[in-house]
Amino acid sequence: MKIEAHHIQGHNARMMERHREDFGFLQHQLGRRGLDAAELAGQVAGLQVAIPSWALGAGGTRFGRFSIGGEPGSLEQKIEDVGLLHALTGSAGAISLHIPWDIPADAAAVKAQASALGLRFDAVNSNTFQDQRGQALSYKFGSLCHADSAVREQAVEHNLEVIRIGQALGSKSITVWLADGASFPGQHNMRRALQRTLDSLQHIYSQLPGDWKMYIEYKPCEPSFYSMVIPDWGTSCLLASECGDRAYSLVDLGHHLPNTNIEQAVATLMMRGKLGGFHFNDSKYGDDDLTVGCIKPYQLFLIFNELVYGMNNNTAGNPPPAWMIDASHNVKDPLEDLIQSLEAVRLAYAQALLVDAAALEEAQENNDPARAQEILQDAFRTDLRPLLGEARLLSGAALNPLGLYRSLGVRNRLIGERGRATVATGL
């Protein structure tokens, strides 16, 4: 299944009159505040978010998994699905591969297929949180932190293999997320586990190609329920700093204890130039991996507000962060869920672009919290959906991606092509 240009054009033509009216009103509204809506639309159109290869099928919980039908059964079909998302939204211009779930048999062919769809390969992800068939040593008790040096070496070698695969595809970064930790007090010497992890990460970093970056993810609990070796952004930043200039922290929105001030973590990491990547999702209780923006859109806006501030005041030379959606789809059609996620990310970004930075600084310097709140909420409460539509028009995408996806019956067509029983690898 491929979205053809005439599908998009026909759809947009039917919606154009209404869009022009809505966008014209917004242009007028923003113009009064001295903002150029067309320019903002161009900025928003530039935001591309990577889709991970494991998010295209139904996820599951530890209790069960309910297939969605028409799931991509191969890497080529996954790329096809990301191509659909990109054609509809104009905002999913990259894929993030998970190794070993998605090892390309023919890297050149896979690269060519992706580039024909306007896609590039973003960070590659290693996996030492599971044992693979035929694997010599087990990660049951950890990988980069393991007590046995042979297990640590095997885990380091896996990461190096992931880098080699990424190089063949044109990736420029690796993301390391570790399940390493202890489920019971006394199980680990916490200091030794951290030191071993640092030694292993430094080994991987020493082999990193010169134009590559390494992102270190963190998580406070799960699957280890007493202590995770890299539980928080501070520990991640410490490890990245010890590794070197091209090692960074990666913030996953679901990887925090309840009520953690994530925007503050973003501010601090960017102050040090150490924010490398971002994984989007939303949560109510834990690492729920729900659609980003479905529960806490204001938090997402506040995070983007810090990101925009950080990029506009980039004294520490923070590189542009790598954006990725990291969600798991249990009850929704994954493609519909991803369309909603892409929309939520761009919306929060656009809202943050609206913040009057000079007025906010003045309110802050004058100790005026009421005024500061007005400024932030004025941006957050402006309906910017027509701006997102305009951004999609600029990149030849659909004015209403989810509407077009449904009216074309994409899922049913995929079921027709691939069958009901295909199962995508992933979480």
Question: What is the residue type of 24?
Answer: G
**Position 326 contacts Mn ion (CB under 5 A):** yes
Binding region for Mn ion (CB under 5 A) out of 250-258, 287-295, 303-311, 359-367: 250-258
176 or 193, CB closer to Mn ion?
Answer: 176
CB of 389 to Mn ion, least distance (A): 29
Tell me, what DSSP letter sits at residue 262?
A: H
Binding region for Mn ion (CB under 5 A) out of 235-243, 273-281, 362-370, 413-421: 273-281
Closest to 398 measured CA to CA, from 92, 88, 18: 88
Binding region for Mn ion (CB under 5 A) out of 86-94, 244-252, 300-308, 384-392: 244-252
CB of 19 to Mn ion, least distance (A): 35
**Position 98 contacts Mn ion (CB under 5 A):** no
Q: Give the orientation angle of helix 385-394 with respect to helix 334-354, to 10 degrees.
A: 110
Cα–chain-centroid distance for residue 426? 15
In this structure, are residues 278 and 251 in contact, taking their beta carbons and an 8 Å threshold? yes
Query: How far is residue 311's CA from residue 329's CA, in Å, rounded to a whole number?
Result: 31
414 or 424, CB closer to Mn ion?
Answer: 424
80 or 252, CB closer to Mn ion?
Answer: 252
Degrees to nearest 5, angle at CA 345 with 344 and 349: 115
Binding region for Mn ion (CB under 5 A) out of 13-21, 271-279, 282-290, 307-315: 271-279
CB of 265 to Mn ion, least distance (A): 15
**Position 252 contacts Mn ion (CB under 5 A):** yes
Residues across the chain: 427
CB of 403 to Mn ion, least distance (A): 29
**Position 279 contacts Mn ion (CB under 5 A):** yes
Q: Which two tokens stand for residue 194?
A: 């951290």
Please work out the total of residues on this chain that contact Mn ion, with binding judged by CB under 5 A.
3
**Position 287 contacts Mn ion (CB under 5 A):** no
Question: What is the residue type of 303?
Answer: I
CB of 326 to Mn ion, least distance (A): 4
Binding region for Mn ion (CB under 5 A) out of 303-311, 324-332, 358-366, 367-375: 324-332
**Position 392 contacts Mn ion (CB under 5 A):** no
Degrees to nearest 5, angle at CA 264 with 191 and 314: 105
Degrees to nearest 5, angle at CA 125 with 124 and 129: 165
* Residues in Cβ contact with 234 at an 8 Å cutoff, skipping those fewer than 6 apart: none
- What residues pair up with 181 in beta bridges, in sequence order? 228
71 or 326, CB closer to Mn ion?
Answer: 326
**Residues lying near Mn ion in the complex (CB under 5 A):** 252, 279, 326
